[in-house]
Structure formats: structure tokens, C-alpha cells
Amino acid sequence: MLSKVVKQLENSKRIVFFTGAGISTESNIPDFRSSNGLYNHEKIDDLTPEYLLSYNCFKNSSKLFYNYYFSNMIHIDKFPNSAHNSITSLSNLGYEVIVITQNIDGLHSLAGNKNIIELHGSVYKNYCINCGREFSINEILYKKPIPYCNYCNEIIRPNVILYGEALDKKVIDKAINAIKLADMLFVIGTSLVVNPAASLLQYYKGNQFVLINKSSTPYDNQATYRFYESCGKIMSEIIKRLGLNHGK
């Protein structure tokens, strides 16, 4: 089946990757829904991760929010794995690659991918809710337990979509347009159960839909090619075969 994917890639130009938490678990970043995911951790004072990472918690219990956020969502000691790096390699081989990710960990950027649509934002971007000044991740970590703006003393928030907030329509429209124009669509490391993100796949009208995820998803029957294996393993092998075919 891999040989067929490679052959299709050789006849394609615009490639879209739609990625979820499963691509980053191979960098030892926990996901939400697996047996070792955040949803299965012991609750803090009977509060769920959904509440602790919600806008309501940020607004009304900022210390509680940031304590959980700093402990569970910041992973600056983690690095891109072979799946992230393989996507970058595809760009280096001359393909037009767009990454649409549900992840906020910034690993696609760290891997050198340039054209990234971050549906839920990034932990590396932060801003003051009053004056709008931007702050790096290191700046807000230095300001624990609650980061406040140096200029107006208002609270700083991560530029991520919190529970209870809607996705940015401009970002959604950009993702939809990319999927519509894709020659091939790779969906990697996502259970595809979270909407509206998962519903974006309906805009792909092509017939080269590659799904790589260790467990089944609601979209399995729609995929042209399915791999229930490691994201890094499959992507590395694809790049290896492409490189050999290109004489590299």
C-alpha cells in the first residue's frame, strides 16, 4: 500500500497534512483521549481538564488555570519527531505543503515547516488582553504563577482557543480553502471526533485521502489508504522511498 501512496505523491503537487495529538505523542507529549491522556489523569479538586483549560477558568480562576496550563500544556523540552521532520522533507523535495494542525505545541514550526494553519493557536504566542502586546513563551514562564503585562499590568493570555471559545473564522476559511485545493490529503494522528475541526475533511473532494492513526476513526471508510501504525514510521518510509525514486 505504501508504494501506491508514493506513486500518487510523485503525480501530485499540492499536499495538505491535517494533524492531531497523535503526531506529538511520539515526542512524548500526552494526548487527551488515550489511556495515558489528560482526560484519564486524576482530577484536580474534581475539576475536569475541559474546565481547567476553559475561558471561564482563565477569567475567573486565573491562578488555577495557569497552574494547570503550565504543568500540562507547555512542553518546551520536547522536540519534533520523524513524522514532523518527514513533512518538512516533503517540502524540501519541492512539494507545495500546507499543514493544518489541531495541536498547540508548535512542533511543526520547530521542525521547519513554513506554511502552517494552527486551528487552535500556539503556546509560543501570548498577548496582553488589554494592550495587545505580544510575549514569548519564555517571558510568560518567567512571570509565574500568573503572567502580567509589563506595560499595563493586565493579565497575559496564551493565543490558543480555550474551551468555550469559537475557532477563528478566518483561520477556518483558510483551512477549508487549502483542503479544497489539495491533490492529496494526509490525516495524521487524530481521532477525528472533535468538531468543527474534524468536519473540515468534508471539503476534500479528491480521491487520494491517506489516514495514519493507531486506532480507528469515524472517517476510516472514507480513506483511500489507511495505516494503523506509528506516524513517524509510516512518514519516514514514505520519504525514504520518495528520496530513492528522486535519486537522493
Q: Is 120 one of the annotated active-site residues of the chain?
A: yes
Q: Is the pTM of this model over 0.85?
A: yes
- Selected catalytic residue, list 41, 108, 120, 246: 120
Question: What pLDDT score was predicted for residue 196?
Answer: 83
Mean pLDDT of 135-155: 95
pLDDT reported for residue 95? 93
Task: State residue 22's pLDDT score.
Answer: 92
CA 197 – CA 53 distance, rounded (Å): 18
List, for residues 147-168, the tens digit of each pLDDT value: 999 999 999 999 999 999 999 9
Q: At residue 45, does pLDDT exceed 80?
A: no
State yes or no: pLDDT of 91 exceeds 80: yes
What is residue 247's predicted lDDT score, i.e. its pLDDT?
45
Q: What is the DSSP string of 162-192?
A: PBT-PPPHHHHHHHHHHHHT-SEEEEES---
Q: Distance of alpha carbon 75 from its chain centroid, rounded?
A: 13
What CATH number is given for 2-29+79-120+166-245 in this structure?
Answer: 3.40.50.1220
Convert the pLDDT of each residue in 28-43 to its tens digit: 998 766 556 565 555 6
Question: C-alpha dihedral over 239, 240, 243, 248, to 10 degrees?
Answer: 140
CATH architecture of 38-75+128-160: 2-Layer Sandwich (3.30)
Length of the chain: 248
**Taking 90 as the threshold, does the pLDDT of residue 44 lie above it?**
no
Question: Could you tell me which residue, 88 or 198, shows the higher pLDDT?
Answer: 88
Q: What is the pLDDT of residues 203-216, one digit of tens each?
A: 999 999 999 999 99
Averaged pLDDT score across all residues of the chain: 91
175-187: per-residue pLDDT in tens? Answer: 999 999 999 999 9
Using DSSP's 3-state secondary structure scheme, residue 67 falls into: helix
CB of 15 closer than 8 Å to CB of 95: yes
Q: Which residues of the chain are in CATH 3.40.50.1220 domains?
A: 2-29+79-120+166-245
C-alpha 248/C-alpha 241 separation (Å) is 10
pLDDT for position 195: 81
Domain with CATH 3.30.1600.10 in the chain: 38-75+128-160
- Please, which pLDDT band fits residue 220 given cuts at 50, 70 and 90? very high
* pLDDT of amino acid 194: 79
